[in-house]
Amino acid sequence: MGEPADAERPQGLPGHEVARFAADLIRFDTTNRGGGDGNERDAAEYVAAQLSEAGLDPVLLEPAPGRANVVARIGGADPAAAALLLHGHLDVVPADPAGWSVHPFSGEVRDGVLWGRGAVDMKNAVAVLLTLAGEWARSGRRPRRDVVMAFTADEEDTAAYGARWLVEQHPGLFAGCTEAIGESGGFTFHAAPGLRLYPVASAERGTAWLKLTARGTAGHGSKPSKDNAVIRLAEAVVRIGQHQWPVRLIPAVRAAVDAIGGAVDAIGGAAAAADGPDGTDLGERLSRLGPAAALVAATVRNSANPTMLLAGAKVNVIPGDAVAYVDGRVLPGCEAEFAATLDELTGPEVAWEYAHCEPPVTAPLDSPLVSAMTAAVLAEDPGATVVPYCMSGGTDAKQFARLGMACYGFTPLVLPPGYDYYAMFHGVDERVPVSALQASLRIMDRLLTENAEAGQGQRDQRG
């Protein structure tokens, strides 16, 4: 299989501009610390200014001071096609400069690589959309479908100030949108020499952030205690952390295992089919996928990882209660099983509740839009293989799906061997090659301007 061929790539798109936009966006500190502590306003104003310069009429909406969102609509060339939502978030997770090689909000470009918090998650994708809007305005070209661009706050927490608020308070902004594209599929995964996979997400696990509370009898730390809340909580946390969740293969993951196995087999490896209704013997099959197993390993089952412990105020005082938080993720169709399992693991002496809960998301694997995304990637990298994908975490797709949209993860990046895409998410020294941003620009332009069919059927069906 050959490498991506420059000769086949369209020329003239402003590749330098996408890097500049991304660097500018990184320099806005839009850290989301959770619990309402965040500020996207300056970045939102920058986005709105770029969209206005492209001749659009962006709407800036702020549900709370500093928590800003921007939405704009671009008219498409095909009035019969349903509208398409493209969404990206403006907030980022915290970054401690002490651990970074460059300041995380510097937006520095070094040796052809853009560094900074948000370089991958996901100011890079926001920059691509801004660049496309400007290029279309200058060239007079238009996307085939009406395109709604939404740049949101608070994705890195609960979306209460971002996509959830927009969906609940301003659904009319998304009128006619039957499908949505957000983070984070479409990236190069180098599975083996000559085997480049591009996963396109059609599903993601649900979010189940849990609060566990144990109660006991407060007392002096020097006295024996048979009613210690800390011990009760700790025992429940250990049970949860050690629990082995059963394999539950949803259609997207089963299709991914089969497609990756076929690609591995095509280059002389051992194919791995997801036999059995519940993925029995899946561990052996995943091992035969080699490094590509990372694309599916986190989504073959539910998960629950303890992340926070809160108890006591003084070392010589036994507290009357103790609290823990658990990051749970739930596959589509497995919500009831997840809750029943938590009842068993916590037992009668520890109560649990959802601190935040969002449902899983699924979309059709065989839609015209998926075919169009596949074609756009292969035009850029004709020797590659596009495979289905289920995201292990959550995105704003959970909110937009509530409006009836089929939501997909596709923020394409053509990446060199040795680049650890997964390590960039929420990690130290987050960075992205400028060439990957430029390739993303070309892929998204192809997808949005050359595809006449995607969206037609959905509009016909929904009237």
Q: Which amino acids are annotated catalytic?
A: 91, 155
Q: Letter for the amino acid at 367?
A: S
CA 423 to centroid of chain Cα atoms: 14
In this structure, are residues 397 and 182 in contact, taking their beta carbons and an 8 Å threshold?
yes
Nearest to 131 by CA among 414, 376, 444: 444
3-class secondary-structure state, position 453? coil
> Helices 41-53 and 15-26 sit at what angle, rounded to 10 degrees?
160
Nearest to 357 by CA among 391, 323, 326: 326
The token pair at 262 is 């076929």
Helix (H) or strand (E) holding 199: strand 195-204
User: CA dist 234 to 214, 311, 318, 351, 367, Å?
Assistant: 9, 10, 14, 13, 47
Q: Helix H segments across 54-162?
A: 123-139
Nearest to 184 by CA among 404, 390, 405, 430: 390
The token pair at 208 is 């189940």
Helix (H) or strand (E) holding 104: none
Token pair 């699924």 in the structure block, residue: 362
3-class secondary-structure state, position 14? coil
